[in-house]
A and B are shown apart, each in its own frame.
Chain A
Amino acid sequence: MLPKTGLLVAVLVLACAACNEYVPRAEDDAGVPEIDAGFPLSKKANLKFKGNERIRNDFARALGLDPKDVCKELGAFSCTHLVHQVALGGVEPYFLGLNEPLPFTTVTTPIATERVALAACGNRVDRDLADTDSALIYVGLDIDASGSLTNSNDPAMAAAVDTLYKRALQREPTDNEVSELTGFYAAVEAKSARPARDWAVLSCFAVMTTMEQLFY
């Protein structure tokens, strides 16, 4: 008797599992708008902040910089491994006895992160604009004497965004992301004395400080 009961339970469980598998039928979908099912919501959402080591190394790799050139406060002190070491989730065993990273980001973590990004992006952009032949990300931007792009719809902007996403986030940008970032140039141009450079630095800054870039 008992084995039969067990078998019955197993069959029912399998049957229920099968029931849960949604099989779309034409009549079910009547009047229901289609939505993108590509964003499964993570129940656990167990993310971690990258921490100072990963941030420095990821920024260096994405922006083609030597890790020691990513960011130096006052031109001398390492941002990631001295000044903002603890705020960026690093450890400091020798002086503080801080052997494990802080469990959560602190109030100064986003600020420190932005400083690193701003410095690293400025570094990359200046190199790219100084020598277009060896430019890595901002390739072929046609900048006039006033510091503006000669064409505010310059396709080189979209190409730069594409390269930046691939190098930083290991994926292609969506059309919307390209559109937002290239469209950002007009807003920068209205306020900046050197819009092309500022756009390049700030588009890089915006991508390098996205949550996608900083958490894993």
Chain B
Amino acid sequence: MTVRRSALSRRNLLKGLAACAAASAVGVPTLLRQRVARSQDSNGKKAKFLIVLGGFGGASIIDSCLAIREGECATPQDINCFPDSEVINIPGSPLRGVNISRDSIGALPVPFTAKQTDFLTKHRDDIMVVTGTGTSVNHVVAQKRSITGNNAWNGRTLQEMVALEYGENLALPNVNMASLGFLEHGDDRSLPGYVYAEPVAQPAIWPLSLDGVRGIKDAPDRELVEMARALRNDKLDEQSQFYRTFELSERLQLWKQQRGGQQTAIEASDLITSLNMITDRPGIPLTEYGLGSAEDAAALQAVFPYYFTDPLEGQAALAYLLIKNRVSSAVTIAPTFNLVIAGPEVVNPPLAFDYSHSSHRAAQAVMWKRTFGLADRLIDLLKSQEFDSTTGESFWDRTLIYIATDFGRTNRRVNGADQFGTSHDLNNGYVIISPMVRGNTVLGGVDPNTGLTYGFDPLTGAPDVNRTMSEGEIYSGILQVLDVQTTGSGLPAMPAMRKNG
């Protein structure tokens, strides 16, 4: 059979239609709009970094910086408040912390001591507490809303917006090691592909997926592999009936981009080495496989000794390497619902903060200790690395840690019980840590008689007992602290959250 060839063949027509669709950006994933990684800052703007640290399961602000003393509450038997001696004011600060010890974590017969004041005292000048009231008590939904501001800007996540602003020239602008709602993409698929998160399940060994050749025993030399790639890409694929039939597939076009310039750039950056926190050890014979470790891998292991068994420590170590090596502008880490025992301690009770259903006080204390402990180590590491030799800025000077969380907890207890269970509650607050925020500050406050937080004036920061803060306002404030362009977004101005207003 023969057919006539014309200038407007069916194939060309379909290709043309596909091009039109791409141009209109409707129905075509803009993942295709990828770019090649480079090392300099994006858009001429000096880089800033966002770390989202998930308060997984409901980190209650009144079990931390806004804790209430029994002596301050009219009905302490009914409200979640602490013996006066366990709530400590941070000197020279409106912040307060909870220092407690107990013989068990609820039903877990493991004693613990949790002392928040060390962290709060050390970093008080960079700590800002903002109150907030969420819109969902479903874990997954609420987690996602904590990073999209309840769809404040077309459903875009904070991480995506930071990656958009600062990540264009980075190898992996947005890396997400968290789970459930904290791992979800935003809802706006019209952004450039590089802003969407690269998920990481196993942070300690994930760098192995950053080079197609290194670390494979007896693999042919890279030059030969490159030749085989070229043969495959330019000849076998291009000429195959399969490709010629399905060449309009968005997935195939994306694949071609990913295995092309992007892969080359990642391999050329030697990220398989610079992000590798593992060193040679029995069972992990890196040298035998021709692999190396990050230059500060040994030091990192000292800071995060359980990086291989405690996923959150592994995530934090990788987060540091991603930022320090300017690979990412947004990194998300979070504990999970799984029990974690690190050394002699239960560091993550089952269900994380949500273990509060069984034993509120102990769960909150152990998990806040875990959260602050991770943040403390990350801050110290980032402070130790120079970002700009001309200004003397460290990486920490340009980083913001947002302790995002699902929601708060109900604030009732019965007969002044020390061990009690709580449910999910919309009313809560967030801890945000950065030299760029209005530090040593509580924006809003808490009514000691009800345990409910109230809001603040977005412009001045003055407390306002007649309002609460929305997820969108907090989202907006974080973006504005990070100098992300929000023109046309309709987001409210939140100068109260910025260091210099």
- A83 engages B251 (CB within 8 Å): no
Which A residues are CB-close (under 8 A) to B311?
A: 95
Taking the closest CB of chain A, its distance from the CB of B360, in whole angstroms, is 23
Q: Does A154 contact B (CB under 8 A)?
A: no
- A49 engages B220 (CB within 8 Å): no
- B209 engages A104 (CB within 8 Å): no
Which A residues are CB-close (under 8 A) to B255?
A: 49, 105, 109-110, 211, 214-215
- A184 engages B231 (CB within 8 Å): yes
Assess A126 versus B218: contact at CB under 8 Å? Given A39-B245, A97-B180.
Answer: yes
Question: How many residues of chain A have a CB within 8 Å of chain B?
Answer: 76
A24 to B233, CA, bound (A): 36
Of the listed stretches B194-202, B449-457, B478-486, name the one at the interface; the rest are far from the partner chain. Answer: B194-202
- A114 engages B212 (CB within 8 Å): yes
Give me 19 A-to-B residue pairs in the complex whose CB atoms sit less than 8 angstroms apart, sorted by A's number.
Answer: A45-B246, A46-B249, A49-B251, A73-B215, A74-B289, A74-B291, A83-B202, A95-B179, A104-B31, A105-B251, A108-B210, A110-B258, A115-B209, A176-B239, A177-B239, A192-B221, A202-B220, A210-B242, A212-B243
- A47 engages B252 (CB within 8 Å): yes
Taking the closest CB of chain B, its distance from the CB of A4, in whole angstroms, is 36
Q: Top 6 closest A-B pairs, CB basis? A: A114-B212, A110-B259, A45-B249, A212-B242, A97-B180, A202-B228
Question: How many residues of chain B have a CB within 8 Å of chain A?
Answer: 79
Taking the closest CB of chain A, its distance from the CB of B187, in whole angstroms, is 12
A118 to B289, CA, bound (A): 14
- A106 engages B263 (CB within 8 Å): no
Interface flags for B164-196 (1: CB within 8 Å of A; 0: not) read: 000000001000001110010000000000000
Of the listed stretches A9-17, A29-37, A58-66, A136-144, name the one at the interface; the rest are far from the partner chain. Answer: A29-37
Taking the closest CB of chain B, its distance from the CB of A83, in whole angstroms, is 5
- A87 engages B209 (CB within 8 Å): yes
- A206 engages B183 (CB within 8 Å): no
**Which listed residue (A42, A97, A111, A201) contacts B179, Cβ 8 A?**
A97
- Chain B: CB-nearest residue to A99: B180
- Chain B: CB-nearest residue to A49: B251
A162 to B198, CA, bound (A): 38
Interface flags for B480-496 (1: CB within 8 Å of A; 0: not) read: 00000000000000000
A45 to B246, CA, bound (A): 5
Binding site for B on A (CB under 8 A): 22, 24, 28-29, 32-35, 37-43, 45-49, 73-77, 82-87, 92, 94-98, 102, 104-112, 114-115, 118-119, 122, 126, 174, 176-177, 180-181, 184, 187-188, 191-192, 198, 201-203, 205-207, 209-212, 214-215
- B336 engages A122 (CB within 8 Å): no
Of the listed stretches B1-9, B69-77, B112-120, name the one at the interface; the rest are far from the partner chain. Answer: B1-9
Assess A43 versus B248: contact at CB under 8 Å? Given A37-B2, A126-B218.
Answer: yes
Beyond the given pairs A74-B289, A115-B212, A214-B255, 12 more chain A to chain B contacts, judged by CB atoms under 8 angstroms and listed by A's residue number, are A29-B2, A41-B14, A74-B208, A74-B286, A82-B205, A84-B208, A96-B178, A96-B201, A107-B172, A110-B259, A202-B225, A211-B255
- B249 engages A215 (CB within 8 Å): yes
- Chain B: CB-nearest residue to A24: B2
Taking the closest CB of chain A, its distance from the CB of B222, in whole angstroms, is 11
Q: Does B240 contact A (CB under 8 A)?
A: yes
A209 to B243, CA, bound (A): 13
- A95 engages B338 (CB within 8 Å): yes
Assess A34 versus B2: contact at CB under 8 Å? Given A84-B209, A187-B227.
Answer: yes
A48 to B213, CA, bound (A): 25
Taking the closest CB of chain B, its distance from the CB of A178, in whole angstroms, is 11
**Which listed residue (B4, B183, B212, B219) contacts A111, Cβ 8 A?**
B212
- A108 engages B283 (CB within 8 Å): no
- A29 engages B202 (CB within 8 Å): no
A105 to B252, CA, bound (A): 10
A46 to B252, CA, bound (A): 10
- A96 engages B199 (CB within 8 Å): yes
- B237 engages A211 (CB within 8 Å): yes
A43 to B248, CA, bound (A): 7
Q: Does B266 contact A (CB under 8 A)?
A: yes
Taking the closest CB of chain A, its distance from the CB of B4, in whole angstroms, is 5
- A105 engages B254 (CB within 8 Å): yes
- A73 engages B249 (CB within 8 Å): no
Which A residues are CB-close (under 8 A) to B183?
A: 96-98
Which B residues are CB-close (under 8 A) to A177?
A: 236, 239-240
